[in-house]
Amino acid sequence: MSNPGQWNVSEKVSQCVFPRLDTDRFFEDADYNAYICRLVDKNIGGFCIFNGNPEQVEQMIHKLQARTVTPLLMSADFENGLPMRLTEGTDFPHALGMGKLSHESVFKIAQAIAKEASGLGIRWNLAPVADVNTNPDNPVINIRSLGEDAEQVAQHVKSYIEGTQVEKVLACAKHFPGHGDTGKDSHFELPTVIHKLDRLSFIEFEPFREAIKTNVASIMLGHLSVPAIDDSGIPASLSPKVVSILREDLLFRGLIVTDALDMKAITNHYSSEKAAFLALAAGCDIALMPENPESVIKFITKLAEDDVEFHEKVDIAARRIILYKRKFGLIPQYQLLEEGKNLYINHAKMALNYSYEILEKSGVNELIPIPENISFAGFAFVKNDKAFRTASRFFTMLAQATENDCDFAYINTEIGDDEIKEMQKGIKDTGIIIFALFYRGLSAEERDFEMAELNRVMDKIATGKKRIVILFGNPYIKNYLNYDLIVLAYSDSFSSLAASVVMLTGREESLKF
C-alpha cells in the first residue's frame, strides 16, 4: 500500500474525495469509463456505487482495483440490503421494521448485508441511520430510522454496527447531529433543526454516542442547519463547530464523511468546489459525491499548496483514510454469486422470517386469512415507477398464492368519479377490497391533503365491502385512514411483500422461526 508521506498534494486531496460511480454508465459509456479511470489514476480514495447488477459491480471493482497501488474503498448505501442500490441481493425490511426485532436479529441482518457487499468488493456500508425519528411528518428519514425512542435506536445502532464490522466492512452512523426531527428533505433544500443543545445531547446525540462506544468506523454529517451548534447558517456537514463536537466532546477518532455533496441542500448555496473545500477545512476526512470531482481536486490542491494549515488538515485526513483501509484489511475479496448461492438462499429465508415477525395488524382480524369462499380485488396507490413495479410484484405474488385471478388496478388520489364508477362495476361481486399503500415520508401539509383525498377515493371504491389496508412504508398515516383491518409492514422490500402475502393467505407453515 502506498505511503501518504510520499504523495504530492494532489494525491492527498484525491484520497479525500469519493465521487459517485454509476455501474451502468461505466459499461455503456466509453467517455464515462475513461473519466472514472482518470480519477483512479489520480489516487482517488474510493467511490460511492449506484445501480447495476452484482456481477457487473464485481467486475467493475476488480478492474478498477487492478489499476491502482492504493486499494480503493468502495462504498454504497445498503441500509436494508443491496437492492437499495443494485438490481439484486437480499431485500431486508427497512430500518423502522428492523427496530421491532431483537438486537440479535438486527446484528444478523447487518452481518448478512455486509457479507453480500464484501463479496462484491464493497467494504463500506453507509449505514446505519442513527437518526431518532421523533417527527412523524419527517419527509426523508421516516422508515429509514430504527425507531422513535433514543435508547432503542442506540441499541439497534450498536447491533447493526457490530454485525457489519465483524465482517470487516466499515459501518457509518448517519446523519449527525440528527436528521430525525426535520420537516424538510435535504435532498431538495436545507432543513433546520430548532432544538437547543441540551435536547440535542439528550435525544439526537444518544445513538451516535453508542456508535462511538461500539467503535464505529465512520460517522456521516447531515446537511442540516443547527443554530444551537452553529448559528452562522452553514450546514452541519461543512461546520467546524459540528466536527469539534464529534472530535472534542464525543471523542470520535474514526472517519468523518459528509452526506452527498450533490444534494440540493448544498448545491443551492455552494459550488461543488467551495462545498468540498469547506468540508475538508472544517475537519471532515471525506468529501462524498461532489459534482465535478476533477475540478474539485484541482481547486482544493491549489488552496492546500498555498495554505500550510489547510495542507496539514488534508494530510491528516488522507492518513486517517489509509489507517482505516489498513485496519479493515482492505485487500479485495471477490466472491462471485455462483460461489455463494447457498448464502443468498439462507439470507432470503432470514429476510422473509424477520419481515413476517415485524408485521402488525389491527381491526377485524377475521378478515385474514382471506376466506376461500370470498372473492377479493386489489388497488395500489402509486405515485412513481418504482411503486408501480413494487405493487405489480405484490399483487402477482398474492394471485399466485391464492391461485386466484384477482382483479387489481393502479390508482391515485386524482382519479375521477366516472373512473371510480367503472371500477365499482368490475368489483360488484367481490367481498373484500385490499388497498396497498406505498407512501414514504410526508410533510404535515402533504399528509393532511393526501389522506383526505385517499379516504375519499377508498370510501367510494369500497362502498358496502370490507376493506383491508396494507401500509408498505410510512406507518404514521395509520390514524388518518378508514379501514376494517390494517396491516403495518414498515417496508416495501421484497421480503415484506412476501411476508404480507403469507399473512393474507394464512400460509404460516411455510415459515421457519
- The catalytic residue positions are 187, 259
Quote the strand ranges of 370-506, DSSP E.
376-381, 407-411, 432-437, 466-471, 485-488
Beta-bridge partner residues of 257: 220, 286
d(CA 213, CA 152) in angstroms, rounded, equals: 15
For residue 94, give the nearest of 61, 127, 119 by alpha carbon. 127
- Return the number of other C-beta atoms located less than 10 Å from residue 187's C-beta: 14
In the chain the first and final C-alpha atoms are separated, in Å, by 45
For residue 18, give the nearest of 259, 288, 283 by alpha carbon. 288
Burial class (CB in 10 A: 0-12, 13-18, 19+), 421: exposed
User: What 3-state DSSP class applies to 386?
Assistant: helix
Cell 498555498 belongs to 306
Give yes or no for a contact between 315 and 4, defined as CB atoms under 8 angstroms apart.
Answer: yes
Question: DSSP class of residue 167?
Answer: T
CA 503 to chain centre: 26
- Return the number of other C-beta atoms located less than 10 Å from residue 336's C-beta: 12
Give yes or no for a contact between 506 and 486, defined as CB atoms under 8 angstroms apart.
Answer: no
User: What 3-state DSSP class applies to 368?
Assistant: coil
